[in-house]
């Protein structure tokens, strides 16, 4: 998949989530704003209540999307038979999409009313969703191959190469420009030993300042605009890789702890969801069938 196709694919997934949210929110806002004791008399109650034609359907579809998102991604990740079915990162993106759209539908299925045993499942779902966002952040900090395999330190160093020398060999830069670029992309060790968030913010700000200085120097040296864009692109990629290398061990450790928190919440959510569905069926609640 090309970069353009991938961008359009991600944009489409985001658009589906946003349109779904806006449609359900706008069409049900008046009902959801109504006090719980008065909802029975609202004209939309029969369709939007949790057991209504729309509300019940949202619960079924939302649950199906979440189970599908979790099941397919876990199968692709764990079983070799599925290893050739697309790139793992694309499966992860679909997993995130389904496990975002699913909980969104579940929220509207509840009609914004939470209580009893189902509330535990709901808040577990919220915890899974929020921890998923954190996990996604940690995941992208760890360099991976296109197939999704985690890169080792040696593999990262081989990929990195010497960007400053590459730029100097391909572009007509003077010694001052080369020195500025070389010093900018040079790694500094031990930046993420403590106060991770503060270090990340400071490092990103420092790299933006470096890029700005390099761009100004290239413009001053009358380097063609097209070449400046290419050179800055090389430097941005290298600085980003530097940051990932510096905090690789820390992120790998955090990712292990993240799994310990993420999976139990997901299991609790699924178990209570199954109990909820079983009780609903036993009490005779049916959808449109």
pTM for the complete prediction? 0.66
pLDDT at 117: 65
- Asked if 265 and 34 touch (Cβ cutoff 8 Å), the reply is no
Q: Is the pLDDT of residue 198 over 80?
A: no
pLDDT at 191: 47
Q: Is the pLDDT of residue 236 over 60?
A: yes
Q: Is the pLDDT of residue 15 over 90?
A: yes
pLDDT at 20: 94
Q: Is the pLDDT of residue 53 over 80?
A: yes
Mean pLDDT of 103-114: 85
Return the structure tokens found at 167: 């730029």
pLDDT at 185: 63
pLDDT band (50, 70, 90) for residue 172? low
Q: Is the pLDDT of residue 193 over 70?
A: no
Highest-scoring range by mean pLDDT, 60-74, 129-143, 207-221: 60-74
Q: Is the pLDDT of residue 176 over 90?
A: no
Comparison of pLDDT for 172 and 112, the residue scoring more: 112
Q: Is the pLDDT of residue 9 over 60?
A: yes
pLDDT band (50, 70, 90) for residue 192? very low
For residue range 116-155, what is the model confidence (pLDDT) as tens digits? 666 777 777 778 878 788 887 777 777 766 556 666 666 6
Q: Where are the domains of the chain?
A: 13-151+251-282, 154-247
Q: Is the pLDDT of residue 60 over 70?
A: yes
Percent of the chain with pLDDT over 70: 76
Q: Is the pLDDT of residue 42 over 60?
A: yes
The span from the CA of 289 to the CA of 287, in Å, is 6
Q: Is the pLDDT of residue 23 over 90?
A: yes
């Amino acid at each position: 998949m090309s970069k353009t196709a991938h961008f359009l694919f991600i944009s489409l997934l985001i658009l589906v989530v946003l349109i779904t949210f806006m449609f359900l929110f706008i069409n049900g806002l008046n009902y959801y704003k109504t006090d719980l004791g008065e909802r029975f008399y609202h004209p939309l109650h029969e369709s939007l209540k949790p057991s209504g034609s729309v509300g019940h359907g949202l619960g079924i579809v939302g649950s199906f999307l979440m189970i599908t998102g979790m099941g397919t991604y876990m199968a692709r990740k764990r079983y070799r038979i599925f290893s050739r079915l697309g790139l793992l990162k694309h499966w992860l993106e679909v997993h995130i999409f389904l496990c975002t759209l699913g909980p969104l539908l579940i929220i509207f299925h509840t009609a914004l009313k939470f209580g009893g045993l189902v509330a535990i499942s709901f808040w577990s779902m919220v915890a899974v969703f929020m921890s998923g966002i954190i996990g996604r952040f940690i995941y992208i900090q760890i360099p991976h191959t296109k197939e999704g395999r985690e890169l080792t330190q040696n593999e990262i160093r081989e990929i990195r190469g010497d960007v400053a020398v590459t730029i100097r060999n391909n572009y007509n830069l003077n010694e001052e420009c080369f020195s500025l670029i070389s010093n900018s992309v040079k790694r500094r060790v031990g930046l993420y030993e403590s106060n991770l968030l503060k270090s990340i913010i400071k490092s990103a700000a420092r790299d933006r300042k470096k890029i700005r200085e390099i761009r100004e120097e290239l413009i001053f040296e009358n380097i063609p605009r097209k070449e400046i864009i290419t050179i800055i692109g090389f430097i941005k990629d290298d600085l980003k890789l530097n940051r990932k290398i510096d905090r690789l061990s820390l992120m790998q450790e955090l990712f292990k702890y993240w799994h310990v928190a993420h999976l139990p919440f997901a299991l609790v959510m699924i178990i209570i969801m199954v109990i909820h569905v079983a009780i609903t069926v036993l009490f005779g609640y049916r959808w449109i069938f």
